Structure 1
Amino acid sequence: MDDAQSIPGIIPRIAALLADPARAAILWTLIDGTTRPAGELAFAANVSAQSASAHLARLVEGGLLMSQAHGRHRYFRIASAEAASLIESMAVLGVATHTKTSRQPPQPALVRAMPHQFLHARTCYDHLAGELAVQLLDAMLKAKWLEPEAKDFKLTALGREKLVAMGVASPEHGKSRRLYARCCIDLTQRRPHLAGVLGAELLDLFVREAWILRTPRSRVVSVTPKGQQALQQILEA
C-alpha cells in the first residue's frame, strides 16, 4: 500500500473534498438519501452549472457520490451509508466544537434557527432523526428491545420478537455487512438515535405503513394520526 492509499493519505484526501463550501452544500443537500439532478445541486450550492459539474466530478471520483444518467440528465446521490455517516458525523462535530468554543448559550444559533418540524422528525440519510427518533431509541432501550454494546446496540430476544411482529425482518435476513443497530448522535438533539440496518428498516416500515409521510425535496417528515397512535404504543411499551 503506497502513501496515497494509506490511512494517513486517505484522510487529507477526504478532508480536501469536504473543505470546499460548495461541495459541502451539495453533500448536505443529498444527506436525506435522495437522488437529485446536477442543476438542482448547483442551485443549492449557489454556484454555476459549470462549477457544479466540476465539484460533482470530484465528489464522484473521491467516492462520496454516485451518478446515474437518465436521458440527457445526470442524477447524483450519496455513494454509501459510510459516506453519509461521515458527513453527518462531521456536522455533529462542527456543532459540538461551536458549542464548546462559543460564548453564546449552549444551544447553537444554527439549531435555534431550525424550524420545529425539522427538529422534531426528519431523515438522516436512510433512517429517522430528530426528537422523535431520540425518543424512540430511548423507549426501545427502556423496554429492553435493545441493549448497549460497546458504542452501539444489540437486539435482545424480546426486541426480536416485538420487531418481527411489527413487520421488521430479523437480523439474519439478508446478511447485510452494515452494523445492525448503530448509534448515531443526533445533530440537533445531541443525543443518540438509531441508525444501521435496523434504523433503515424502521424508517421503511413507518413510510410503508403510512405512519410518517416524507416531504418532497426535504428531509422533514410528518407523523400521521395513524402514526401518532402506533408510535405512541412503542414509546409507552
Structure 2
Amino acid sequence: MVSTAALAGTAAAIGDPARASMLAALMDGRALTAAELARVAGIAPQTASGHLARLADAGLIAQEKQGRHRYHRLASAAVAEALEGLMALAGATRPSTGPRDAELRLARTCYDHMAGRLAVSLVDSLLRRGHLLMEGEGAELTASGTALLAELGVAARPGRRMLCRPCLDWSERRPHLAGAIGAALCSRCLELGWVRRRDGTRALAITPAGEQGFRAAFGLGALQG
C-alpha cells in the first residue's frame, strides 16, 4: 500500500502551476525538450530544469537523450490516466476548469489512446451492443467485441500492460477506453485516416472517412457541430 508520505510527495510534485502545465503538454504522448516545456509553462529555461528534476524524481516523467538533445515525456500511460482523472475531478469541483476548446472536447489524445466525446461515444456503443463489459475499475471485451475490433485491424497482445481499462474522461466525466486495446484502437484510427492530429495540440480532427467509418462500425451518429 502506498504510504501517505509518498502520496503527498506525488501530489506536491504535480501541484505547482508550472509543473502542471508541463505535464499537460506531455499528455499527447510527445517527448519535448526543456526549452519547449519552459515556453509552455511560461518560465525561464533555467527555472524549468529544477521543475523537470522534481517531476523526474517523483516518477512522473522520463528522460531520453538523442544526439545533443534531451527529451522529456510522461513516464507511462498510467501517469497520463491519473492526470486525466485529476483533470476530470478538478472540472467537477471547478466547472470552469474543463477544456474550453470545442476541438479538445470533441476528440483528443490521452497519452496513447483517444479521449473526448468521440472516445466516450465509442465506449457507449460497445457497451450497448454487448461488445464490452465494464464495472468499476475493470473492463473486458466480449468475444463479439474482440471480433469486431479484429475486423478493423485492432489487436493487442497480452503483456505487462492491462489490456482494457476505463479512464475517466476530463471533459465528459465518463469513462473512455484505455489500456493496450485503447492504444491499439487509437493507432488504427490514425492509420485508417479516420482521425488526424491537429498541429500544436492534442486535439484530433474527425475526417469524412472517419465519420463514415465510425458510423458503419460503431453506429455513431454526427459528433461534430
TM-score normalized with structure 2 length: 0.92
**Partner residue in 2 for 1:191:** 174
Which stretches of structure 1, 4 residues or more, deviate above 3 A after TM superposition? none
- The Cα of 1:185 is off from its aligned counterpart by 1.5
Rounded to whole Å, the distance in 2 between the matches of 1:152 and 1:125 is: 19
Check conservation: 2:33, 2:71, Cα contact below 8 A: yes
Rounded to whole Å, the distance in 1 between the matches of 2:131 and 2:10 is: 37
| Greater gyration radius | 1
Do residues 39 (structure 1) and 26 (structure 2) align?
no
Rounded to whole Å, the distance in 2 between the matches of 1:6 and 1:92 is: 22
Q: What is the correspondence of 1:188-227 to structure 2 with a 5 Å cutoff?
A: 188-227=171-210
Do residues 11 (structure 1) and 7 (structure 2) align?
yes
Q: What is the correspondence of 1:24-103 to structure 2 with a 5 Å cutoff?
A: 24-98=20-94
**How far does the alpha carbon of each residue in 1:59-84 deviate from its partner, in whole angstroms, 9 at most, with x for none?**
11221111112222211100111111
**Partner residue in 1 for 2:130:** 144
Question: Which SS does the other structure have where 1:114 is aligned?
Answer: coil
Do residues 120 (structure 1) and 106 (structure 2) align?
yes
- The Cα of 1:202 is off from its aligned counterpart by 0.3
Check conservation: 2:85, 2:169, Cα contact below 8 A: no
Question: Which SS does the other structure have where 1:119 is aligned?
Answer: helix
**How far does the alpha carbon of each residue in 1:70-109 deviate from its partner, in whole angstroms, 9 at most, with x for none?**
22221110011111122212211111222xxxxxxxxx23
Rounded to whole Å, the distance in 2 between the matches of 1:92 and 1:149 is: 19
Rounded to whole Å, the distance in 2 between the matches of 1:125 and 1:97 is: 24
- Show structure 1 runs of 5+ residues with no match: 99-107
Check conservation: 1:35, 1:75, Cα contact below 8 A: yes
- The Cα of 1:144 is off from its aligned counterpart by 1.0
**Partner residue in 2 for 1:105:** none
Rounded to whole Å, the distance in 1 between the matches of 2:210 and 2:147 is: 21
- Show structure 2 runs of 5+ residues with no match: 221-225
Rounded to whole Å, the distance in 2 between the matches of 1:149 and 1:87 is: 21
Q: Report which structure shows greater RCO (CA 8 Å, sep ≥6).
A: 2
- The Cα of 1:6 is off from its aligned counterpart by 5.3
**Partner residue in 2 for 1:167:** 153
**How far does the alpha carbon of each residue in 1:176-206 deviate from its partner, in whole angstroms, 9 at most, with x for none?**
2222221111111111111111111100000
Rounded to whole Å, the distance in 1 between the matches of 2:49 and 2:27 is: 19
TM-score normalized with structure 1 length: 0.87
Question: Which SS does the other structure have where 1:96 is aligned?
Answer: helix
**Partner residue in 1 for 2:223:** none
Aligned sequence identity (%): 40
